Amino acid sequence: MLTWLPAPLLGALNSLLLALNTLFWCTPLFALSLLKLLLPLQSVRRALDPWLNRIAKSWIACNSAWIAASNPAPWEVRGADHLKSGGWYMVNCNHRSWVDIFVLQRGFNRRIPFLKFFLKQELIWVPVIGLAWWALDFPFMKRHGKAALRKNPALRHQDMETTRKSCARFAHAPTSVMNFAEGTRFTLAKHARQASPYRHLLKPKGGALALALSALGERFRALLDVTLVYPDGAPTFWDLLCGRSGRVVMLVQERAIPLDLVQGDYTDDPAFRARFQTWLNEVWEAKDREIDAVLQEFKK
């Protein structure tokens, strides 16, 4: 355990460990990605993608080691005991902090296929890791403002095509497609600005989730509805590095994916979009109650 170190020193040490771990595993990752780029054949992709995913899982395992050695507060994962590592999953989660990604990766690593996130287009420029996300076929999404969409309605279809192409690549090897339906991290200011009807959540957006289900719905084993709760308050990334993540509870509920939500057109069919959003709102209402129950549990 590294918890005896002063917090700033521990944070600096873990920052170094994270950087070294990333550089170490990105070396073979980039080498295989270059080979895949130079030989754009389906047979090459099918052979290399499992190895790329193994490298990513090893990176996560090393990160999980320094996280466990640095953060004394318990991290609980509930409901993940019967998951399968050999199938496709759609994972949908609330979003509280940058720490969420490390919690999800640690909680799911080698329990289900490697998680791939929907990312903002700008994140491709993050040094080293942005290139790694590209190499692993993470879908990068552009966000268009309402004014731009009014001026050019065709922009609505860009993310749909990006999602379909990304999900088509996921078909070569078992993959877990990760989505934060709120689209942004929770803050009290955002909660108030939205006039959110939920106590602990922002309003969910169904677009990316619906597109992923449309593209790969028949392959997905199930929808994993994940609820992250931080009883001591949502930690920052620096808190995680310094060993101050506090207690973490990750609730996993495996849900069957309704067939009528797999085959609709979310972009151009208002009736389907309304039906999909109603279903997602019901999921969010249940998630809000789960968060409240966990917080009450830790107050006792």
* SS3 category, 75: strand
Span 271-298, average pLDDT: 95
Domain total of the chain: 1
pLDDT at position 31 over 80: yes
Q: Model confidence over 44-93: pLDDT tens digits?
A: 888 888 899 999 999 999 999 999 999 999 999 999 988 888 888 999 99
Domain that holds residue 178: 73-299
Span 228-239, average pLDDT: 96
Decide if 3 is inside a domain: no
pLDDT above 90 as % of the chain: 56
Decide if 5 is inside a domain: no
Decide if 58 is inside a domain: no
Decide if 12 is inside a domain: no
Span 194-203, average pLDDT: 97
pLDDT above 70 as % of the chain: 93
Q: Residue 109's domain is classified under what CATH number?
A: 3.40.1130
Question: What pTM value is reported for the model?
Answer: 0.90
Decide if 263 is inside a domain: yes
pLDDT at position 161 over 80: no
Residue 146: what pLDDT? 60
Decide if 37 is inside a domain: no
Span 268-279, average pLDDT: 92
pLDDT at position 272 over 70: yes
Sheet holding 248-255, edge to edge: 75-78, 248-255, 220-229, 88-93, 176-180, 115-117
Decide if 53 is inside a domain: no
Q: Model confidence over 203-222: pLDDT tens digits?
A: 999 988 888 888 777 788 88
Decide if 283 is inside a domain: yes
